[in-house]
């Protein structure tokens, strides 16, 4: 059986191969228990293209480490925990893509999406329905960032763009979080190219 750490290492390698987690940027998490809430989160300061199954930290609902790995969790672990609590997600992906940053600058009040077949990948009809991918201002304070995400979140869209920073997407499990990330990234690429 695959451990949460092994799953996150595999997913990190995949996203890094796309250039979405350059250097040590980005982070991923997977819920390991709900009561109490515990998440395995990729450790801080490591190259996301070469993680191993042990390169994770288990954190609590506040994003604080609760294991004795000696590793430091991502500074954004508290936001991962907040997203898991708020949405019921089982996994969260945070990538730093150029398109997310460009789109956040171009459409600071949100990115309107409609009439695209790829919308079905996030559960939105390809025709007759418009959704807005929220864009929120960045903050180094995860409490402030979490409040902004909660206020802007559209329950139909399992993602949010953080201006000047990147993309957060989530899903019921790591595979669904991966799919949502890839679909939203495609939608961002389309929107940026269309202008």
Domains and CATH numbers, the chain: 4-194 (3.40.225.10)
Query: Which band of pLDDT confidence, cut at 50, 70 and 90, is reported for residue 152?
Result: very high
Q: What pLDDT was estimated at residue 107?
A: 97
149: burial class by Cβ within 10 Å (0-12, 13-18, 19+)? buried
Query: Which band of pLDDT confidence, cut at 50, 70 and 90, is reported for residue 90?
Result: very high
Q: What pLDDT was estimated at residue 68?
A: 84
How many percent of the chain have pLDDT more than 70? 100
**Using alpha carbons only, how large is the chain's radius of gyration in Å?**
16
Query: pLDDT (tens digit, 9 = 90+) per residue, 103-122?
Result: 999 999 999 999 999 999 99
Query: pLDDT (tens digit, 9 = 90+) per residue, 32-44?
Result: 999 999 999 999 9
CB atoms within 10 A of CB 1: 3
Closest CA to 14 of 28, 30, 32, 2: 28
DSSP type of residue 74 = P
Whole-angstrom Cα distance, residue 80 to residue 77?
A: 5
Q: What pLDDT was estimated at residue 105?
A: 96
Residues in the chain: 195
pTM assigned to the model: 0.96
- Contact predicate 138/165, CB 8 Å: yes
Which element (helix H / strand E) includes 135? Answer: strand 135-136
Which element (helix H / strand E) includes 100? Answer: helix 98-106
């Amino acid at each position: 059986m695959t451990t949460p750490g092994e799953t996150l290492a595999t997913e990190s390698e995949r996203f890094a191969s796309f250039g979405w987690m350059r250097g040590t940027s980005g982070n991923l998490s997977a819920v390991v228990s709900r009561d109490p809430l515990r998440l395995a989160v990729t450790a801080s300061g490591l190259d996301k293209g070469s993680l191993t199954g042990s390169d994770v930290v288990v954190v609590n609902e506040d994003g604080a480490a609760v294991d004795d790995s000696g590793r430091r969790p991502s500074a954004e672990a508290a936001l991962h925990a907040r997203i898991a609590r708020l949405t019921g997600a089982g996994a969260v992906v945070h990538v730093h893509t150029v398109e997310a940053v460009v789109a956040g600058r171009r459409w600071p009040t949100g990115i309107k999406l409609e009439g695209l077949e790829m919308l079905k990948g996030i559960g939105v009809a390809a025709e007759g329905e418009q959704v807005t991918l929220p864009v929120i201002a960045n903050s180094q304070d995860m409490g402030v960032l979490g409040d902004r995400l909660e206020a802007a979140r559209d329950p139909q869209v399992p993602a949010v763009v953080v201006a000047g920073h990147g993309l957060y997407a989530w899903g019921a499990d790591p595979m669904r979080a991966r799919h949502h990330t890839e679909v939203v990234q495609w939608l961002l690429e389309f929107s940026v190219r269309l202008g």
